[in-house]
Amino acid sequence: MYSIELLFDNIAARVSANPQFSVTRQEMPTENNFILNTLFALRNRGGINHITGDIHYIALVLGKRRTVLTIHDCVFLTRYTKKNFKYWFIRFFWYQLPIWSSGAVTVISEKTKRELMMLTGVQADKFRVIPNFYDPRFKRVPKLFHKARPKILQIGTKSNKNINKLIEAIKFIPCELLTVGILEEDTLKLLQENKIEYKAFDNISFEQLNQLYIDCDIVTFISTYEGFGLPILEACAVGRPLVTSCISPMNEIAEDAAVKVNPYNVFDIRRGLLKIIEDDSFREELITKGRKLAEKYHIDTVQQMYENLYKSL
């Protein structure tokens, strides 16, 4: 939620600077009250309504011709089987109906587009791929690599972020683990059992997050499920070598600017980390490629894509 809000706050600020647009940010009054949120949306409709959070269902009352819906991923549907009533409820009210009720639907990656087509049966021409971008406040900061005891930055601690596999992988690697997110009991236990030196951070400001990127030596983002993967771009923008998953969409987004590993294989994760730690020239090559990759996802490009979409409505 934090990264998504930051992302669209940046877009809103830039679009507001265009005299053709006037942007108002609306936040729902509740976290999960379907009725209250829908009534609030109905009372606060604008000329164009862009739904950027996981409240897709409010599209039902905003008016099809003037509603843009951004879908980040299909993670809600992956939590249940088709035998569970919740699967069909979420599929209908969070995906199927909102997509039908929107004038334009944007997705952040080709992977999300493929998933939506498969899960909902909606045709490809309904979706527009507009990727995420990294926050332009992330700047390149060169750093001497601490080869003897590198600091490894892990962004995210939910189950799909795969932190427990990472902990197993670094068991015999001298390092310090920096984590961003709430650590569950099983993760804390695993850290203690494997005698991992770590520092945990949660609910931090952008400035604190940026400083963690600057202070670390390696960024890990070995998720088992993502709609996009902003930490890939953030690591590249700051100039830190990255280990990420060899599955979609991380595989496509990172291109050749990261070590790609099997997120389900502890030994492969360890191999990727050791490759960065031990091979100096390879590590520098990754950082150079990362700088070029970050340039492709600059905010200027994405802003223009959204403005063109708003004008078309």
| Per-residue pLDDT reduced to its tens digit, 295-306 | 889 899 899 999
Q: For residue 79, how far is the Cα from the chain centroid?
A: 18
- In whole angstroms, give the CA distance from residue 198 to residue 225: 24
pLDDT of 120 > 90? The answer is no
Shared domain for 173 and 292, answered yes or no, is yes
Task: Tell me the residue range of the domain where 289 lies.
Answer: 151-296
Residue 139 lies in a domain: no
Residue showing tokens 């100096």 = 280
Shared domain for 163 and 289, answered yes or no, is yes
pLDDT in the model for residue 281? 97
Residue 142 lies in a domain: no
Residue 10 one-letter amino acid: N
Beta-strand relationship, 151-155 and 67-71: unpaired
In order of 24, 68, 132, 197, 238, the CA distances from 129 in angstroms are 24, 13, 10, 41, 25
For residues 96-100, average pLDDT:
94
Shared domain for 69 and 19, answered yes or no, is yes
For residues 119-138, average pLDDT:
89
Residue 140 lies in a domain: no
Residue 269 lies in a domain: yes
pLDDT of 1 > 70? The answer is no
- In whole angstroms, give the CA distance from residue 74 to residue 144: 39
- In whole angstroms, give the CA distance from residue 259 to residue 262: 10
Structural Rg of the chain based on CA atoms: 20
Shared domain for 286 and 231, answered yes or no, is yes
How many structural domains does the chain have? 2
pLDDT in the model for residue 47? 92
For residues 259-287, average pLDDT:
97
Shared domain for 127 and 222, answered yes or no, is no
Shared domain for 126 and 182, answered yes or no, is no
Nearest to 239 by CA among 297, 303, 285: 285
**Rounded to the nearest 5 degrees, what angle is found at the Cα of 308, between the Cα atoms of 306 and 313?**
95
Using DSSP, state whether 63 is helix, strand or coil: coil
Shared domain for 164 and 274, answered yes or no, is yes
Residue 253 lies in a domain: yes
Shared domain for 287 and 305, answered yes or no, is no
For residues 106-132, average pLDDT:
89
Shared domain for 278 and 157, answered yes or no, is yes
Number of other residues whose CB lies within 10 A of the CB of residue 131: 18
Average pLDDT of the chain? 93
Beta bridge partners of 242: 219
- In whole angstroms, give the CA distance from residue 177 to residue 200: 8
- Whole-number percent of the chain with pLDDT over 90: 76
Shared domain for 209 and 287, answered yes or no, is yes
pTM: 0.78
Q: What is the dihedral of CA 263, 268, 271, 277, to 10 degrees?
A: 0
Read off the pLDDT of residues 20-69 as tens digits, 9 standing for 90 and up: 999 999 999 998 899 999 999 999 999 999 999 889 999 999 999 999 99
pLDDT in the model for residue 2? 57
DSSP category for residue 134: -
**Rounded to the nearest 5 degrees, what angle is found at the Cα of 291, between the Cα atoms of 243 and 216?**
50
Residue 15 binned pLDDT confidence (cut-offs 50, 70, 90) = very high
Provide the strand spans (E) within the chain.
Answer: 49-51, 67-71, 104-107, 127-129, 151-155, 176-180, 198-201, 218-221, 242-245, 259-261
pLDDT in the model for residue 173? 96
Read off the pLDDT of residues 148-194 as tens digits, 9 standing for 90 and up: 999 999 999 999 999 999 999 999 999 999 999 999 999 999 999 99
Shared domain for 304 and 281, answered yes or no, is no
Residue 138 lies in a domain: no
Nearest to 173 by CA among 218, 210, 240, 209: 218
Residue 146 lies in a domain: no
What CATH code is carried by the domain that includes residue 44?
3.40.50.2000
pLDDT in the model for residue 61? 95
Residue 73 lies in a domain: yes
Shared domain for 162 and 267, answered yes or no, is yes
- In whole angstroms, give the CA distance from residue 35 to residue 216: 44
